[in-house]
Structure 1
């Protein structure tokens, strides 16, 4: 894995961006009134920093919508400001809302001001993963073998929902003597890459879907107590009124589904890019490889 892949696709993890960009409320009034995709309009998609499925799905839809005549801007930010911007109407769409658990607090706060379009991935999960040949298969066994992992669990951002779930799991499985290191997703991926290259055991907090499962030989530790929650769905949300302003866009996103094989393939190709500036050509080439499927998204 190239060093490029240790960072989020757009910016270093944790670096919030100034919320900017035109909402579709500022789009061409004729397009909004008619809902005719051919006339286009301006759309802004909110993208979660460091969430690879958010980046991949947003880049895909940027290309698809621009091919339909829309002017699409991607704005990268952390979840909290992204949900706020969606509720305020500054963003039009967010493709990476995890339900029913991970983003439940945001839905409780902003749910009345945003609209659910539909789930596009139905087997998302918070995980604790190890190298496939590690001597444990369950969180139940991890404490007994802690020294074989350097007595360390490598986590991501301190404020992430995944981090909170693992913090709750630690006392349940008697892992209090292990050092739970949290810093950032890129730092976790750097540690994972180094350990896998050196043939060392490592335990990391991760989630599915994630490109790392296609890049490394990993296994998820069983969670018999259910501390990390059940499988979740990834859902697209829009600002209020998007369906009235852009009915075609709302319909396309409502009908959108994507299986893990396609998602991992796109994520891995984006990860292999030499730089962020190559993403447009990567997505263009990927679409050409899957043209029939992509065409079905706007049928």
Structure 2
């Protein structure tokens, strides 16, 4: 499968850590290939993990893929790991398909949520009210990339709530937030597919629409998943991935940094790692 790396991350000397590796050490340890989806949350977490792996002496390649391709790459060994599996609902179908070809290392972040999101000033409070108020939203639910599990769930929402006057429009995370920004600036109603953690909740006053049928399910978690054999091939990298765990607030710090004009997610991740060595040391194997 062709790979589309966003960046072949160079080795980084992590300020003050005293654990930076030489190029020779990194070449000896090898390259860890991390796949991810272009969601703000996964861009943040994947770059942070890349910076930590580099601190431990690995080279890291980041591979941006659709959700389906991301899990496929893990199952075939074309990627080593992801820190972007939303479970037990959003990516359940993908995890079922890859089956025993991967290792689920458990949650790296708890407290996620999926649903339809509107500005706080919107009068509508429930998904069940959308069809009767379709004109206020131009009959559109603004979504993200069509391969996302969130979009599949939203298609189910349209069916279960019989939203005959509403169409689900696919796009990307960036086009969704751009549409949200434009609507709020003009004090217009808009409904988008949303999830927590996401920087948009820090920037704007938003609310989730109630989901009385519970189609989106309860709170989820984001898991780390590795290809079979990684533990044997790169035990230290596997241990770091297994230990990686942070909070929505910590992820939010990085996501907000990434929203600054002309910011670089990789440089922001390195900065966060440098400034949070107390947290990072909990993910690194004990030395000696």
TM range (shorter): 0.7 to 0.9
Partner of 1:10: none
1:179 Cα deviation after fit: 3.1
1:62 Cα deviation after fit: 0.8
Partner of 2:48: 60
After superposing the two structures, state which structure 1 stretch, 217-226 or 142-151, moved more.
142-151
> SS at 2:281's partner residue?
helix
> Partners in 1 of 2:59 and 2:233 — Cα distance?
15
Q: TM-score of the superposition, structure 1-length normalised?
A: 0.82
> Partners in 2 of 1:180 and 1:106 — Cα distance?
22
Partner of 1:27: none
Q: CA RMSD in A?
A: 2.2
> SS at 1:296's partner residue?
coil
Pairing partner for 1:215 from 197, 200, 203: 203
- Residue deviations 1:94-134, cap 9 Å, x none? 11111122212222221211111121112222210000111
> Partners in 1 of 2:52 and 2:260 — Cα distance?
21
> Partners in 2 of 1:295 and 1:159 — Cα distance?
36
Partner of 1:152: 140
- Aligned length, in residue pairs: 266
Contact 1:115 1:237 in 2 (8 A): yes
Partner of 1:26: none
- Residue deviations 1:73-97, cap 9 Å, x none? 1111112222222112121111111
Partner of 1:138: 126
Unaligned stretches of 5+ residues in structure 1: 1-16, 22-35
> Partners in 2 of 1:171 and 1:47 — Cα distance?
29
Partner of 2:31: 42
1:20 Cα deviation after fit: 6.5
Q: CA 1:163–1:38 in structure 2 vs 1: closer, same or farther (change >3 Å)?
A: closer
Partner of 2:225: 237
Unaligned stretches of 5+ residues in structure 2: 6-24
Structure holding more helix per residue? 1
Partner of 1:286: 272
